[in-house]
């Protein structure tokens, strides 16, 4: 099945080279309270996928959109793009359309996962995994990262996957900003306080498990259906902090206050003596900045800078909205190692992908297309337990996860490595790979080449 990106391309009457903010789309439903609006991408929706290809099917995207809305029983929607299935729905329409298993449904104005795992996965072949290993230099050393921990702020993990990283400890951040401690074998449901381990409902942890496996998965390799995963630092430990939570049938999202609280929790681990190589933050906001957002996002910046002063860099995705002159928090913070997504060709990077946000704050790119990840997805969509152990994933989340794992591998190899952003870019790109060029903006960006 072809992949679908949710780069925002245009709203009727807008220049396609100047895509709107998601909030612009929300303004098309002016009589609805903002808290009752949800930003939706249908890339993994089986109904949408059945209607056509990534161009909308049969050259008529408007007809396909109408057919999808009729099939799902949706009457009130603001479509954000003529090119990709991105829209805003009211809470009632989300429930009516039964989108609980679609991967991208999040409240407007929230932070959400910056990438997704395909709910109808195509097997990732050995060549794809080999290309990532060959270009990045990662995934071949089973001891890479030994002695270090990466804190992963995402949607949590589940413990029954054969490649689950060694869990240092677990922490969680619930939606009101409070924190709680959990053990590695604690289970939770989406109606209980959010915790880092999600054994009772693996679908909730799809994104978090995919990024965790790329950072420090232990069993990179194949299963019976030849799905492949690459682990950057299989010798490292992972400390999951769950900031992306679900509300009933809605897919993970969180507020900026929750993300800030998660960073505060990470700082507490570091100041408590944890040997932390890096903090990975797998979500992005939906307000976009053309330059540094340190002043506008001061709450996040505060904790990022305090972590940096303790020698721990924060790694975050640039987001997948197709902007070529701006990006959202936290990637727009000057103290964050911001990572975009690039495709691969033989022995090198092919270029920045169209959906990846870029700006002057982008520091690095890494593989983010058809990446083999550890997951548990239901390929039939029937919830009948026919689970896959590995799947494909697209997005800057997964590129950033590889970079976070690479930092652990680097610090294990050379504990004296300076952790300021310019030096990390220099060390992680090491000059042996050509820069990846963005075809739209014309900018060139260093590629992860460990």
CATH number for the domain running over 126-445 = 3.40.50.200
What's the distance, Cα to Cα, between the start and end of the chain in Å? Answer: 31
For every residue of 57-114, which 3-state class applies, written as one string? Answer: CCCCHHHHHHHHHHHHCCCCEEECCCCCCEEEEEHHHHHHHCCCCCCEEEECCCEEEC
Q: What is the DSSP letter of 34?
A: G
Q: What string of pLDDT tens digits covers the 450 residues of the chain?
A: 222 222 222 222 223 334 445 555 666 666 666 556 777 767 667 777 777 654 444 556 777 888 888 888 888 788 876 655 677 887 788 778 877 555 556 666 556 666 555 544 444 455 677 788 889 999 888 899 999 999 998 877 776 677 778 877 655 543 333 333 333 323 333 223 344 555 455 556 778 888 988 999 885 444 433 345 788 999 999 988 877 654 333 444 556 777 887 888 888 889 888 899 999 998 888 788 999 999 999 989 999 999 999 999 999 999 888 889 999 899 999 999 999 999 998 788 999 998 899 999 999 999 998 888 877 655 554 444 445 667 777 889 999 999 999 999 999 999 999 999 999 999 999 867 889 999 999 999 999 998
Strand partners, 239: 151
- How many CB atoms are closer than 10 A to CB 176? 10
3-state secondary structure of 437: strand
Residue 334 · residue 368 · CB < 8 Å: no
Q: Which long-range contacts (CB under 8 A, 24 or more apart) does 11-16 make?
A: 11/80, 11/81, 12/82, 16/83
Query: If you ran DSSP here, which 8-state letter would residue 20 be given?
Result: P
Total residue count of the chain as it appears in this document: 450
* Cβ-based neighbours of 50, under 8 Å, separated by 6 or more: none
What residue spans define the domains of the chain?
22-109, 126-445
Element (H, E) at 213: helix 206-216
**E strand or H helix that includes residue 250:** strand 250-254
List residues bridging with 388 in a β-sheet: 377
């Amino acid at each position: 099945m072809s992949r679908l990106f949710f780069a925002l391309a245009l709203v009727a009457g807008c220049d396609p080279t100047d895509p709107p903010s998601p909030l612009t789309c929300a303004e098309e439903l002016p009589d609805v309270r903002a808290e009752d609006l949800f930003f939706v991408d249908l890339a993994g929706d089986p109904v949408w996928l059945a209607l056509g290809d990534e161009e909308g099917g049969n050259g008529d995207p408007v007809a396909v959109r109408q057919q999808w809305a009729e099939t799902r029983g949706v009457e009130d929607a603001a479509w954000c793009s003529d090119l990709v299935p991105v829209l805003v729905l009211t809470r009632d329409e989300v429930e009516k359309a039964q989108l609980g298993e679609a991967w991208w449904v999040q409240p407007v104005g929230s932070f959400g996962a910056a990438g997704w795992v395909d709910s109808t996965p195509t097997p990732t072949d050995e060549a794809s995994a080999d290309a990532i290993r060959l270009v990045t230099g990662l995934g071949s050393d089973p001891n890479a990262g030994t002695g270090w921990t990466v804190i992963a702020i995402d949607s949590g993990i589940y413990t029954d996957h054969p490649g689950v990283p060694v869990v240092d400890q677990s922490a969680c951040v619930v939606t009101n900003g409070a924190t709680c401690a959990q053990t590695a074998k604690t289970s939770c449901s989406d109606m209980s306080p959010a915790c880092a381990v999600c054994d009772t409902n693996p679908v909730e942890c799809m994104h978090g498990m995919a990024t965790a496996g790329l950072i420090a998965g232990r069993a990179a390799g194949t299963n019976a259906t030849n799905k492949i995963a690459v682990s950057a630092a299989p010798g490292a430990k992972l400390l999951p902090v769950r900031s992306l939570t679900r509300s009933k049938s809605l897919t993970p999202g969180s507020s900026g206050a929750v993300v800030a609280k998660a960073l505060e929790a990470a700082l507490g681990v570091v100041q408590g003596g944890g040997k932390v190589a890096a903090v990975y933050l797998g979500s992005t906001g939906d307000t976009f900045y053309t330059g540094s957002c340190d002043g506008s996002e001061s709450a996040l910046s505060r904790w990022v800078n305090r972590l940096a002063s303790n020698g721990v860099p924060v790694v975050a995705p640039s987001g997948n909205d197709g902007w070529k002159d701006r990006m959202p928090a936290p990637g727009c913070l000057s103290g964050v190692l911001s990572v975009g997504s690039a495709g691969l060709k033989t022995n090198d990077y092919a270029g920045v992908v169209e959906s990846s946000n870029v700006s002057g704050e982008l520091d690095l790119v890494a593989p983010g297309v058809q990446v083999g990840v550890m997951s548990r997805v239901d390929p039939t969509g029937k919830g009948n337990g026919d689970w896959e152990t590995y799947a494909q994933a697209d997005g800057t989340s997964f590129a950033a996860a590889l970079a976070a794992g690479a930092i652990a591998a680097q610090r294990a190899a050379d504990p004296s490595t300076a952790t300021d952003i310019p030096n990390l870019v220099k060390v992680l790109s090491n000059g042996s790979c050509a820069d990846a060029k963005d075809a739209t903006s014309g900018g060139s960006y260093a590629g992860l080449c460990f």
